[in-house]
């Protein structure tokens, strides 16, 4: 099992519409990926490690799939549509990482 994490770094004044991300963008991604998207989670950054510090990431998602290949095969044909939707909820450049799920 792999996890594809898409993280949006906090930046003062940056725009991130959590409701749109939760209600529109992630359901769009899951719908387009079909059964290849085993599940996903959404995180909303609240704070950093020290009191009063902003979160490192204002928002992020984690998409679970059987393999990198199955993720790419399902995401690839819809990449243009999914990536174009980013402008509807943020002006932040996301950071992406693919990880192997070791425990979970």
Q: How far is CA 10 from the centre of its chain?
A: 14
Burial class (CB in 10 A: 0-12, 13-18, 19+), 60: buried
Q: How much is the pLDDT for 81?
A: 98
Q: Rounded mean pLDDT of 52-57?
A: 96
Q: Which structure tokens are listed for 6?
A: 């898409």
Average pLDDT, the chain: 97
Q: How confident is the model at residue 54 (pLDDT cuts 50, 70, 90)?
A: very high
Burial 74-103 (b: 16+ CB within 10 A, else e): bbeeeeeeeeeebeebbebebeeeeeeeee
What φ, ψ does residue 76 adopt, rounded to 5°? Answer: -50, -50
pLDDT band at 14 (very low <50, low <70, confident <90, very high): very high
Query: Domain 2-100, CATH 3.40.50.300 — does that match?
Result: no
Whole-number Å distance between alpha carbons of 1 and 35: 14
Is the distance from CB of 44 to CB of 10 less than 8 angstroms? Answer: no
Confidence of residue 17 (pLDDT cuts 50, 70, 90): very high
pLDDT digits (tens, 9 = 90+) for 23-40: 999 999 999 999 999 999
């Amino acid at each position: 099992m792999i996890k594809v994490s898409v993280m949006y770094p906090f930046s003062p004044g940056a725009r991130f519409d959590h409701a749109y991300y939760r209600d529109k963008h992630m359901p769009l991604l899951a719908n387009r990926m079909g059964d290849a998207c085993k599940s996903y989670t959404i995180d909303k950054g609240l704070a950093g490690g020290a009191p009063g510090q902003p979160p490192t990431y204002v928002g992020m998602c984690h998409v679970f799939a059987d393999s990198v290949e199955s993720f790419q095969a399902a995401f690839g044909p819809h990449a243009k549509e999914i990536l174009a939707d980013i402008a509807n909820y943020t002006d932040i450049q996301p950071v992406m990482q693919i990880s192997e799920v070791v425990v979970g």
